[in-house]
Amino acid sequence: MVNFFFNYVRCAVATTLALGAANERTEPIGYLISAYVFSGIIYPLACHWVWDQQGIFSPTSTSYPSQDYAGSGVIFLLGGAAAAVSLRVIGSRAGRWSPHFKRTEHSQPMVVLGGCLQMLGFLGLVIGTHPRVLDADEGLLLGLGTVNLLHAATSGGLYGLMIQRIDKNYYDLDSMLSGAIAGMVAVCAGVDTYMPGVAVMCGATGSLLFIGFRRFLCAVKLDDPLNIVSGYLIPGAWGLMLAGLFSDHGALGGHIQVLGNNCIVALVLFFWAVAIMYPLLSILMCFGVLRVPRFMEKQGIDKIRHTLRHPHGTRKSLN
């Protein structure tokens, strides 16, 4: 039962990434149908391929052994790939690329709280992946994974903060938190075997990729307000590459084939998500049950679909 609950949580994380990217402009019924398909078909098969002992890409496979300890590929790349499809099919927010577009009001304390909760969740993800601790060596393994995760978060957040400072001449809290999360995503695949210095490099490069692809998505006008594609898909794919190189089960550990297999895993997971989600979302879009009308988007889906909204004057107090 414990194993079932833990895998349920991992599936929920991937599903949230896959469908949360365009959540504020998605019809509830379209969201539910998409979540049902992703959590019932896409994720379970991907999880079986990589993490089940009988899976073709499991670490013990005799065909294509791969390394993805805590979900850089199965959770974050897979969810990010589905998110990229949803952003492409649903489209941008109303007026997003207009020169007069302004960000809606937000609460920085809530942003910090959400970022810290995600970091805490990453610790649970890394520690919970190891099913049991029977001796001191396994305890040291969990300790190494925890230290590596914190190193990656620290370096990723620092790089995100400083690059934003150099580029925009101010310190940006969002960039620091997103950089830290991207660093943790990148380190997850081999977090149990990395040397701490490698974990620092994983966090730094994951943050750099996040910043670069965030700008690229703006250049190609793919509206990703939650940075799911740049902060999870790209660092997740990069994390698989790093595990194939630097983990004890990878090229530096004498298993050169794991690097190639991890590249194959990244491609398989990406195209598996795209192959199912693109036709599904396109059909839902054609039937008008995926994207909310523009007037509803401007007034707020909470008010019209759920009869919920902040009391008058609350939005100003959130600044």
**pLDDT of 99-150, one tens digit each?**
877 766 678 888 899 999 999 999 999 988 877 776 667 778 889 999 999 9
Contact 22, 87 (CB under 8 A): yes
pLDDT digits (tens, 9 = 90+) for 174-232: 999 999 999 999 999 999 999 999 999 999 999 999 999 999 999 999 999 899 999 99
Domains and CATH numbers, the chain: 2-91+105-317 (1.10.3430.10)
Mean pLDDT lowest for which of 121-135, 153-167, 234-248?
121-135
DSSP state of 39: I
Q: Tell me the average pLDDT across 150-157.
A: 97
Which amino acid type is present at position 116?
A: C
Contact 77, 240 (CB under 8 A): yes
Q: Is the predicted pLDDT of residue 297 greater than 50, yes or no?
A: yes
Contact 14, 40 (CB under 8 A): no
Contact 94, 294 (CB under 8 A): yes
Alpha helix segments (H runs only) across 21-135: 28-37, 43-51, 78-90, 108-129
